[in-house]
Structure 1
Amino acid sequence: MVNHDDETPSGFAGLGRDELAVLVPELLLSGHLIDRSGMAHSIAAFGRDGMAQIAIEEWQVASPVYTRRMQRALNFEGDTVETIFKGLQLDIGAPPQFMDFRYRVEDDHHGEFWLDHCGALADVEPMGEDYVRAMCHDIEDPTFDATALATNSHAQVRPIHRPPRVPKDRKPVCAWTVTIDSAHVPPPIPANFEAVAASNAARTALEPIDPGDDGAADYAGPLLSDLRFTDFSRSALIRMADEVCLQHHLLTLGFLIAVGSRADAGLTAQIGRKQFAGIAGLTAQRLRDALGVGDDDAALAKVLRLHPAWNPLPYTGVRVDQADIGVRLCIPKHSGAVADRVWPSLIDATNLAPIEAIARGVNPHYAVHVIADTADELSVGFLLAARPFAEAGEVAITRFSTGADFRFSDRGIPLPLTVI
């Protein structure tokens, strides 16, 4: 007898507060590592300069949309430097500790941030100075501004110093000022921004946070040196997790739009599937290890339910069932995600590589097979093969990142940074 998931507004509703506090930083890191997969295939197709331009375009159109969503969800809307910094702490562009942002607020219109550790730089420095400049100069200048502009159209982010590092072990690795001045002329709205802002992902409604739940229900208080996720309520953590998954889809939407402006539909889908498979497999393994769920069918079902590819449920409509005969993943062919043409839209009966990568991130013996393919839904099942499958090349490419083996640590009680 099949045990269907209860109808629920969130795929994370089955988790306790402690599990959610582990999950949210994992999801933030997963979102960041999307580019470790996508940009490798962009370089192959369009060269280093083309890759850099794609990265600029995807972040410019996605980050303002999801930044405002998170501000509304966690009740810290505003137009100050403090608001900008709070947004960065819940942004896949700046996952905690891996991208170790530190902040100083001088007043509402002036502040600084610097990175004591930059996982992205650790990934790129071995590739040479040209790639470092592409990331730390060409990409960061317009994308940092785009993120800040989501809070205040007159905000500017400018470097104090940045890589290439001189000396080569310089710490902090970079430092930046943030200045809000009405004399600053806002840059033009990026091409395709309105399309992303009007997407189903941007407009997906999620359950509000329950203010009566134990723990912090929002981030309306002072800016903190670090976010300690165990301090937030279960309800707040569920909303954070769903919002971070939407960040994944919005960034992927921006990526596919940028690739699609340079390639035909076939090549765009091919690059999109490779990007999807690479991050999907690595994320599945990290979720499995972080939550300590093992490698059996129950573990596979849990990882599938929690994977950002299939969340939030109001956007994807994906269902995971578990029965005595195994696990079933059901992907509807009509959903907000399919209409936006993001990850779920790239899956069909002949293109299952991202699902295979997820399953093998849990256990390398899993094979994926089609159970049913109708006008409304694709259903796939999972069987254990006698021999393990080799890791997909797309996952191996993504594993190049130091984020693949990164471990979060407990930094204790965070300090308030807000100027009084």
Structure 2
Amino acid sequence: MTPPRPLRELTRPELAVLLPELLLAGHLIDRAGMPHAIGAFGLDGMRDIAIEEWMGASPVYTRRMQRALGFEGDSVEVIFKGMQLDVGAPPQFMDFRYVVHDHDRGEFHLDHCGALMDVEPMGDDFVVAMCHDIEDPTFDATAIATNVRAQVRPLHRPPRTPADRHPHCAWTVTIAADHDPLPIPEIATRMGRTHAAQVDLSPIDPAEDGLGHYAGPLLDDLRFGDWSHSALVRVAEEVCIQGHLLALSFREAVRARATDDATVEGIARKQLAGIAGLTSERLCAALDLPADLEGAAQVLLLHPALLPSAYVDATVTLDDRLVLRLGRSDGATADAAWPALVDADHLAPLDALLRGVDARLRADVLSSGPDELVVEVVTDDDPAPEADEVALTRFSTGAEFAFVDRGTPVAIGPRPA
């Protein structure tokens, strides 16, 4: 059997294909988790969980990406660069278009909002909850990671009138000395103390071919094939950390409303199962992986639930059988992040991940203890039915979304006076 390759051994073209998939997977975490939040706490509870979830994670991972790619600053342009590398705005699915007027003023609109396409059929109450109640505080929370006096305000937004209004929404971003500075949300402060927030990831080699930083002008689109190998590895790792931070923040928000730990863990595991299965399926298609043990081994090494390796101790071996070992002395376990939710008594999320490759696959425990969980991936004779958690996540239009090459990026600069 062909051994699987870890993230760092993928080629530049493979990484360029993988990265948008990881960004989309991070965005669809909400599609996996929110149906269960609605079931437990209703629409208002889901809305408030989403607000706290994004306000907790976004300021933390935005600053991480700025440091990683060397575009720290306090301008509108820096805010927009961060949004381009944010799981809240995966390219094309959330098709942000930017205008920079000057250091302190800019605009953006969405030519396509995949999130709107997901909730619009559910009615105006859901649209208002997302496009008004959730977006107002969470856009500001993202912006203040760059400048505490930044404000994001709507020019127009859904519900759409007329029903086919385009662009889907439009916003201004303004920085002004007379704006009251907004504090970093308390939940973001807590997220900032996690191992996920503080983990050191792969360095970028400035001598490599390709773009190794984003210190230059804002580009209308990021064509990942233009980036260097080590930059693509680092950004992929950062995007996986974004997903872990978002899931940790989601669980904190659920915990604030749940009456017992079992409810919290149950919802978190359902979230993981939903995103795990759908992401495996998309990774197989994007990277043209086989629907067998070799494909499963490769997916296990590239799945965002089990990356980055500096945070998640996951070992995959493939010889005459496929074995996954999850160590329990890593940052993910200390944070009680996704890998910690998988144990000998709770294999459903891992089974969902494997069945995204082949519906006949499942995990069989070889050993379990305080230091590690070791499972073998086995092949059953008959395919298992799709897990309900995956079916709920598949409701999103992101499940079938296809990325396209948009050609050479164009620099966006301040408009002349």
Task: Give me the TM-score of the superposition, normalised by structure 2.
Answer: 0.97
Alignment partners' CA distance in 2, 1:83 and 1:189: 18
Alignment partners' CA distance in 1, 2:4 and 2:400: 32
1:214-251, Cα deviation, whole Å (9 max, x unpaired)? 10011111100000000001110000100000000000
1:184 and 2:179 correspond = yes
Pairing partner for 1:311 from 301, 307, 314: 307
1:289 maps to 285
Identity among equivalent pairs (%): 59
CA 1:68 to 1:320, structure 2 compared with 1: closer, same or farther past 3 Å?
same
Count matched residues. Answer: 414
Alignment partners' CA distance in 1, 2:298 and 2:82: 29
1:198 and 2:201 correspond = no
Pairing partner for 1:124 from 92, 103, 119: 119
Q: Matched residue of 1:313: which SS?
A: coil
1:267 and 2:263 correspond = yes
1:297-335, Cα deviation, whole Å (9 max, x unpaired)? 1111000000000101111111111111x2111111221
Contact 2:219 2:411 (C-alpha < 8 Å) held by counterparts: yes
Pairing partner for 1:322 from 318, 321, 331: 318
1:396 and 2:397 correspond = no
Q: How much has 1:342 moved relative to structure 2? A: 1.2
Pairing partner for 1:231 from 208, 226, 244: 226
Q: How much has 1:190 moved relative to structure 2? A: 2.1
CA RMSD of aligned residues (A): 1.3
Contact 1:201 1:336 (C-alpha < 8 Å) held by counterparts: yes
Q: Which amino acid aligns with 2:371?
A: D
1:257 and 2:248 correspond = no
Alignment partners' CA distance in 1, 2:288 and 2:329: 34
CA 1:361 to 1:5, structure 2 compared with 1: closer, same or farther past 3 Å?
closer
Contact 1:4 1:320 (C-alpha < 8 Å) held by counterparts: no
Alignment partners' CA distance in 2, 1:270 and 1:74: 36
Alignment partners' CA distance in 2, 1:291 and 1:40: 29
Unaligned stretches of 5+ residues in structure 1: none
1:243 maps to 238
1:415 maps to 410
1:387 maps to 382
Alignment partners' CA distance in 1, 2:243 and 2:135: 19
Q: Which amino acid aligns with 2:63?
A: R
Q: How much has 1:259 moved relative to structure 2? A: 0.4
Alignment partners' CA distance in 1, 2:195 and 2:160: 41
Q: Which amino acid aligns with 2:100?
A: V
Pairing partner for 1:148 from 143, 147, 150: 143
Q: Matched residue of 2:160: which SS?
A: coil
1:61 and 2:61 correspond = no
1:153-191, Cα deviation, whole Å (9 max, x unpaired)? 100000000000000000000000000012111234323
Alignment partners' CA distance in 1, 2:185 and 2:39: 25
Contact 2:27 2:87 (C-alpha < 8 Å) held by counterparts: yes
Alignment partners' CA distance in 1, 2:167 and 2:54: 24
Task: Give me the TM-score of the superposition, normalised by structure 1.
Answer: 0.97
Contact 1:5 1:319 (C-alpha < 8 Å) held by counterparts: no
1:10-63, Cα deviation, whole Å (9 max, x unpaired)? x41110000000000000000000000101100000000000000000100100
Q: How much has 1:5 moved relative to structure 2? A: 8.0
Q: Matched residue of 1:316: which SS?
A: coil
Q: Which amino acid aligns with 1:85?
A: F
Unaligned stretches of 5+ residues in structure 2: none
1:37 maps to 32
1:301 and 2:260 correspond = no
Q: Matched residue of 2:411: which SS?
A: coil
Q: Matched residue of 2:106: which SS?
A: strand
1:50 and 2:77 correspond = no
